[in-house]
Amino acid sequence: MINEQIKLHIIVFIWGFTAILGVLIEMDSFQLVFYRTLISALSMGVFMKLRGWEMKVSSKDAIKLILTGSLVALHWILFFTSAKISKVSVCLAGIATTALFTSIIEPLFNKTSIKPYEVILGLFVIIGLYIIFQFEFDHALGLILSLGAAFVGSLFSVLNGKFVKSISSPKITLYEMIGGALTALITLPFLSEGETWLEVPSMMDTFYLLVLSIVCTTIAYAVCVEIQKSLSAFQVNLTVNLEPIYGILLALILFGEKETMSPGFYVGAGIILLSVLSYPVLKKNYNRRSSNRKALHKEAIKG
């Protein structure tokens, strides 16, 4: 169990590195996302082939997954653009709200009620964002884009929660990466800021893209799937929420003063991150109490 927890923290640490790679890669976000999704789709296909996993899905499911891949592409375009035009810390502070966006969107999809603790945590997140805007208004656009990325990320997370009930996770990843690559390719001629609509990556960009696509996406995904067989969903979700913290610390170490923010930013970001880390704990306690109340109610009826 300890070995699995260490592996999970390493994976989350790797995911925290993605925004930094986005800044290091010189090409614009649209080209970056095209190459990332293309390489990820190819490497995932090779991985599945080597493992002997089935890759085919029905035409109906393929269309659903490819369209959802468009959301994945949009999420990453907003994410990397935010990191490029502002700072990694600002981008990750905004993206940390994904879990709370999901807590609002998921009940709407499933037609269930929003829990009281979700409302309270949402208010704390709003307070944290307000503080950041007050102290870092120069980076307002970057924060807005990262909030957009968080919102879109919560959308495809909820959709994937439905897909995974009937489609394996490797298939979901494969077809969504294909959809993301197609979406980025279609938009490139109109929105890319490069000298040509599709540039050949430099040697360093190629290296960073391979790390981003194979290590941070395919390998990280494969290891995470194996880990989930040993650890509970609660442990996994709680650890994954540390991604923005790891990313912000990495940015400070690698970029130094360039990444240093005002004290007000760290107060606001701290409130957001504390809310996000509290979410799975409060959810677990709420579900346990709800189950206990139901059990007591059944006993009372029997009595």
> Per-residue confidence of the chain (303 residues) as pLDDT tens digits?
678 888 888 888 898 889 999 999 999 999 999 999 999 999 999 989 998 989 999 999 999 999 999 999 999 999 999 999 998 989 988 988 887 888 888 888 877 777 888 888 888 888 988 888 888 788 889 999 999 999 998 898 888 888 888 888 889 989 999 999 999 999 988 887 777 778 889 999 999 999 999 999 888 877 876 776 777 666 676 777 788 888 888 888 888 888 888 888 889 988 888 888 887 788 788 878 877 776 665 666 665
Gap between the Cα atoms of 148 and 154, Å rounded: 10
pTM: 0.86
Inter-residue contact 169 to 51 (CB < 8 Å): no
Q: What is the pLDDT of residue 224?
A: 75
- DSSP 8-state assignment for residue 257: G
Gap between the Cα atoms of 242 and 2, Å rounded: 17
Q: Which two tokens stand for residue 295?
A: 């059990």
Q: Which two tokens stand for residue 215?
A: 């290590």
Measured CA to CA in angstroms, residue 238 lies from 65, 175, 193 at distances of 27, 27, 38
Gap between the Cα atoms of 209 and 22, Å rounded: 9
- DSSP 8-state assignment for residue 212: I
